Amino acid sequence: MVEIDEVWKRYGRQWILRELSLRVKSGEVVALLGPNGVGKTTLLRVIATLIRPQRGVVRLFGKSSKRIEKERGWINLVANPPAFYRHLNGQENLRQSLALAGKKSADEAIYRAMEEMQLPPDRPVSAYSSGMRKRLALARALLLQPRLLLLDEPETALDSNGRDKLIDVIDQVARRGAVVLATHDRGFAETVASRKVQMRGRV
């Protein structure tokens, strides 16, 4: 599903990724390990096609990342922190996310996702806690049904109940595709990942 060959990425004069290669197969949950600043988020953004590397090859679903079109709809990146329209409530945000992804907005499915994540449907996101925004991002992932789910420090701000829901979402996506997550929490990686990759850091 993901093939990365000798990718280099820099910001200014600082190389963040240097000669990095990675393979992710369907059914895998791959954890990118390392402290803050080693390039985990940058790699997720490269895979999500949000940024392009200076050198190297990125292939997704068997195609060059430069040439995918409909396949972009198969990818969902949950950033840290996740981005939402703060003046809208949870249901409105999910409805907007589905519309932007070109998917039909089913109020019943949105309600079920909100209920599954134990979120108040009518409260504006500006009044959500950090953990609630993370659970809303998980609800969005459930609705979008990605084949490739990218998670940036997904366990932060979640209580034990929220972590259980996160693990359930990861399991669901891995059954139909693959998950790549970035974390500095080795214990969490041991719990959810089928394979762990240690990031080397900046050069």
CATH number of the domain enclosing 22: 3.40.50.300
Q: What is the phi/psi pair of residue 195, to 5°?
A: -155, 145
Give per-residue pLDDT as tens, 93-124: 999 999 988 887 778 899 999 999 999 978 99
CA 137, 98, 145, 116 torsion-angle sign: positive
Q: What is the pLDDT of residues 128-181, one digit of tens each?
A: 999 999 999 999 999 999 999 999 999 999 999 999 999 999 999 999 999 999
In a domain, 203, yes or no: no
Q: Is 118 a domain residue?
A: no
- Give me the pLDDT at residue 201, please: 58
Residue 190 has pLDDT above 70, yes or no: yes
- In this prediction, residue 203 carries a pLDDT of 39
Domain-located, residue 96: no
Measure the CA–CA gap between 72 and 172, rounded to whole angstroms.
19
Tell me, yes or no, whether 116 lies in a domain. Answer: no
H helices of 101-197, in order, are: 107-116, 130-144, 160-176, 186-192
> Structural domain of residue 61, as residue ranges?
2-84+132-198
| Average pLDDT value for the chain | 93
76 bridge partner residues: 149
Half-sphere exposure of 37 (CA within 13 A, CB side): 3
Please state the domain count of the chain: 1
107 within domain boundaries: no
Determine, yes or no, domain membership for 99.
Answer: no
